[in-house]
């Protein structure tokens, strides 16, 4: 019998430079040349200062990052003290960098409430990245309670000065509000295909957002602590942390919740996978070992079509699925008793030509937040 494997996650220490880049990723934007032909706009999102000015209308933001880099040559402590001092003086860029540190627990303890306070203060100055990050925090209840209406109002207020915010609104509104009628593939365990769950504009947006974040799939070798290729998944992947969950991504997650008849607050961060020819996801279960808040449902959203191979297969059930861009596949991972259902073992068959892009939303049995302790989720 085929040996079943489950998803595993690992973490490692992060250097000051890597932590700074992670902390500033949400501040400086998605860092990708994003073209949305269907939305009728081309928005450059990259590290180039001119592109940043076009998006956010600020000419000094990259200068602050360069200042931090310069001070960091004197040592980590000097750079951290510099950021704290500038934040205390009301510098919005410094407040945002410090807010991200508080989110991730870098150079101090994790404090999501303080992260939100700093972000809110920076946003009050009209700092566009802070406004969009605050909206993300409101959408994902990060350091504050969830308020989708307030988050959208913030994005709408930013839109006249930010092409990025305007694009978020346009693409989010292109996504159907109601999930189409599902095609039931199996009653027990529940498996259903939902055509056109999200728009093709949204598919293109999610792929563009994920592109610069993609990393080869890996696990940590317990013997030496080194990263080694993932034994069952050969694709490249990226996940969006809460402060990166913009209005479009949140709308996608809301549609996944509707399709699975669950609450949006139960979902893990949206995870995007890209498969090139020869890559696959070997048979596995999505349910996790040794957790109380189990993954009860999975929603797979197909982001493109036109590739060869790459079907989703449930070998125990004799079900094979091929879908179009925007379609979704929803299935339960657990039995009525809440235990992993071995019948839901599934695989992403090898891609034979082109690229396959897939967004995965793993949904827990109860509320979940990746930056909160298990007892707080």
Full set of structural domains in the chain with CATH: 16-173 (1.25.40.10), 183-376 (2.60.120.620)
Query: What is the distance between the alpha carbons of residues 161 and 129, in angstroms, rounded to a whole number?
Result: 11
Continuous H helices in the chain: 16-28, 49-56, 61-72, 76-88, 92-104, 112-124, 128-139, 148-158, 163-174, 200-210, 247-260
Long-range contacts of 157-162 (CB under 8 A, 24+ apart): 157/131, 158/128, 158/131, 158/132, 161/56, 161/57, 161/128, 162/55, 162/56, 162/57, 162/128, 162/132
Strands 236-239 and 271-275, by their bridges, are antiparallel
**Gap between the terminal Cα atoms of the chain:** 36
Specify the residue for token string 């932590």.
19
Q: How far apart are CA 373 and CA 356, in angstroms?
A: 34
Integer Cα distance of 58 and 17 in angstroms: 23
- Residue 374: what pLDDT? 59
| pTM over 0.85, yes/no | no
pLDDT > 70: what percent of the chain? Answer: 81
Statement: residue 43 has pLDDT above 50: no
Q: What is the pLDDT of residue 222?
A: 64
Identify any residues that bridge with 348 across adjacent strands, giving them in sequence order. Answer: 281, 312
Give the mean pLDDT of 295-323.
Answer: 98
Q: Enter the tokens of residue 255.
A: 């549609």
Residue 328 and residue 259: Cα distance in Å, rounded?
9
pLDDT given at position 227: 72
Distance, in Å, from the CA atom of 168 to the CA atom of 211, rounded to the nearest integer, reads 17
Q: Which residue bears the tokens 């410090």?
A: 98
For residue 371, pLDDT over 80 is answered with: yes
pLDDT at 376: 52
Convert the pLDDT of each residue in 117-138 to its tens digit: 999 999 999 999 999 999 999 9
Q: For residue 315, give every residue at least 6 positions away whose Cβ sits within 8 Å of its Cβ, in sequence order, or none.
A: 2, 283, 345, 346, 347
272 phi-psi bin (left φ>0, alpha ψ -120 to 50, beta other): beta
- Whether the per-residue pLDDT at 114 is higher than 80: the answer is yes
- Which residue in 137, 143, 175, 142 sits closest to 155, CA to CA? 137
Distance CA 287, CA 172 (A): 30
The C-alpha atoms of residue 266 and residue 367 are separated, in whole angstroms, by 4
Those residues whose C-beta lies under 8 Å from the C-beta of residue 268, and which sit 6 or more positions away, are 239, 295, 361, 362, 363, 364, 368, 370
User: Which structure tokens are listed for 29?
Assistant: 């934007």
pLDDT digits (tens, 9 = 90+) for 95-105: 999 999 999 99
Q: What are phi and psi of 359, to 5 degrees?
A: -110, 130
Residues 325-363: tens digit of each pLDDT: 999 999 999 999 999 999 999 999 999 999 999 999 999
């Amino acid at each position: 019998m085929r040996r079943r494997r489950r998803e595993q996650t690992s973490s490692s220490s992060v250097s000051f430079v890597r932590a700074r880049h992670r902390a500033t990723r949400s501040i400086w934007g998605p860092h990708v040349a994003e073209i949305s032909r269907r939305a009728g706009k081309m928005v450059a999102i990259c590290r180039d200062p001119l592109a940043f000015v076009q998006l956010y209308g600020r000419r000094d933001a990259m200068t602050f990052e360069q200042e931090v880099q310069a001070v960091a040559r004197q040592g980590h402590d000097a750079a951290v003290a510099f950021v704290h001092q500038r934040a205390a003086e009301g510098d919005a860029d410094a407040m945002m960098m410090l807010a991200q540190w508080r989110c991730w627990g870098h150079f101090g303890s994790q404090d999501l409430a303080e992260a939100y306070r700093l972000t809110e203060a920076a946003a009050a100055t009209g700092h566009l990245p802070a406004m969009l990050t605050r909206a993300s925090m409101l959408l994902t209840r990060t350091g504050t309670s969830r308020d989708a209406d307030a988050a959208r109002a913030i994005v709408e207020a930013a839109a006249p000065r930010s092409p990025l915010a305007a694009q978020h609104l346009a693409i989010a509104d292109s996504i159907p509000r109601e999930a189409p009628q599902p095609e039931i593939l199996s009653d027990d365990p529940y498996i259903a295909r939902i055509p056109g769950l999200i728009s093709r504009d949204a598919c293109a947006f999610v792929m563009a957002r994920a592109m610069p974040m993609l990393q080869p799939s890996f696990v940590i070798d317990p013997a030496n602590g080194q990263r080694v290729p993932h034994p069952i998944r050969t694709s490249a992947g990226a996940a969006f942390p809460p402060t990166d969950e913009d209005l479009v991504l949140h709308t996608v997650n809301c549609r996944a919740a509707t399709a699975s008849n669950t609450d949006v607050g139960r979902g893990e961060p949206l995870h995007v996978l890209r498969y090139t020819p020869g890559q696959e996801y070997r048979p596995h279960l999505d349910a996790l070992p040794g957790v109380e808040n189990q993954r009860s449902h999975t929603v797979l959203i197909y982001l493109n079509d036109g590739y060869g191979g790459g079907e989703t297969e449930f070998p125990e059930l004799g079900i094979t699925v091929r879908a179009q861009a925007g379609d979704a596949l929803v299935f339960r991972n657990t039995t009525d008793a809440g235990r992993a259902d071995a019948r839901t073992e599934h695989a992403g068959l090898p891609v034979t030509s082109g690229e396959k892009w897939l967004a995965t939303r793993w949904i827990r049995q109860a509320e979940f937040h990746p930056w909160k302790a298990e007892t707080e989720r």
